[in-house]
Amino acid sequence: MSVNRRIALAAILGVSALAANAAQAADLRVAAIVQSLDTEFNVLWANAAERHPLVQDGTIELTILDGRMDPFNQSNQFDTAINEGYDAIIFIPVDINAGNDPVARAMEAGVPVIGSNTLISDTDLYQSYISSNDVVAGEMLARSVIERLDGEGNVVIVEGMIGQSAQVQRLEGIQKVLAEYPGINVVETRTANWSRAEALTLVENWLISNGGNIQGVIAENDEMAIGALEAVKAYGLDPANVPVAGVDGITDALLAVQRGEMMSTLQDANALAQGAIDLAAAAAQGDSYEPRAEIWDVNGGSLEWGDGTEQQYSVPWVPVTADNVDELLALREGA
Which of 332 and 191 is assigned the larger pLDDT?
191
pTM reported for the whole predicted model: 0.89
Residue 251 lies in a domain: yes
Return the closest-CA partner of residue 105 out of 87, 81, 121: 81
Which H or E element spans position 224?
A: helix 222-234
pLDDT recorded at residue 290:
95
Domain count, the chain: 2
Residue 316: is its pLDDT beyond 70? yes
What domain range includes position 122? Answer: 3-131+269-315
**Residue 9's pLDDT band (cuts 50, 70, 90):** very low
Same domain, 147 and 249: yes
**pLDDT (mean) for 294-317:** 95
* Domain assignment present for 327: no
Same domain, yes or no: 85 and 182: no
Clarify whether residues 139 and 243 are in a common domain.
yes
Average pLDDT, the chain: 92
Q: What angle do CA 59, 55, 294 make, to 5 degrees?
A: 110
CA–CA–CA angle 227, 37, 318 (5° rounding): 60
Comparison of pLDDT for 163 and 17, the residue scoring more: 163
Query: 120 and 48 in one domain?
Result: yes
260 and 141 belong to one structural domain: yes
Show Cβ contacts of residue 7 under 8 Å, excluding neighbours closer than 6 positions. Answer: 37, 43, 46, 64, 66
Distance CA 119, CA 63 (A): 20
CA 148 – CA 243 distance, rounded (Å)? 7
Q: 233-251 burial string, b = 16+ CB within 10 Å, else e?
A: eeeeeebeebbbbbbbbbe
Give the whole-angstrom CA distance, residue 19 versus residue 3: 18
**Helix/strand/coil for 85:** coil
In sequence order, which residues have a C-beta less than 8 Å from that of residue 110 and are 6 or more positions away?
none
Residue 293 domain flag: yes
CATH number of the domain bearing residue 231 = 3.40.50.2300
Q: What angle do CA 75, 79, 80 make, to 5 degrees?
A: 115
Asked whether residue 246 is assigned to any structural domain, the reply reads: yes
**Residue 331, domain member (yes or no):** no
Average pLDDT over residues 251-274: 97
How buried is 211 (Cβ within 10 angstroms: 0-12 exposed, 13-18 middle, 19+ buried)?
A: exposed
Check residue 12 and give its pLDDT.
Answer: 32
Residue 87 reports pLDDT greater than 80? yes
| Same structural domain, 64 and 107 | yes
Q: What is the pLDDT of residue 335?
A: 60
CB-based contact 219:244 (threshold 8 Å): yes
Residue 28, pLDDT above cutoff 60: yes
DSSP secondary structure code for residue 248 in this structure: E
Whether residue 17 is predicted with pLDDT greater than 50 in this model: the reply is no
**Whole-number pLDDT of residue 332:** 84
Average pLDDT over residues 297-324: 95
Q: Determine the pLDDT at residue 26.
A: 65
Tell me: do 90 and 143 sit in the same domain: no
Residues 112 and 186 in one domain: no
Tell which of 207, 238, 266 closes a domain. Answer: 266
Percent over 90 (pLDDT), the chain: 89
Residue 151 placed within a domain = yes
Asked if pLDDT for residue 297 goes beyond 80, the answer is yes
In a domain, 138, yes or no: yes
Residue 16 has pLDDT above 90, yes or no: no
Is residue 326 situated within a structural domain? Answer: no
CB of 44 closer than 8 Å to CB of 251: no
Average pLDDT over residues 227-243: 97
Q: How confident is the model at residue 11 (pLDDT cuts 50, 70, 90)?
A: very low
Q: What is the mean pLDDT of residues 314-325?
A: 96
Calculate the CA dihedral of residues 16, 41, 61, 73 and round it to 10 degrees: -20
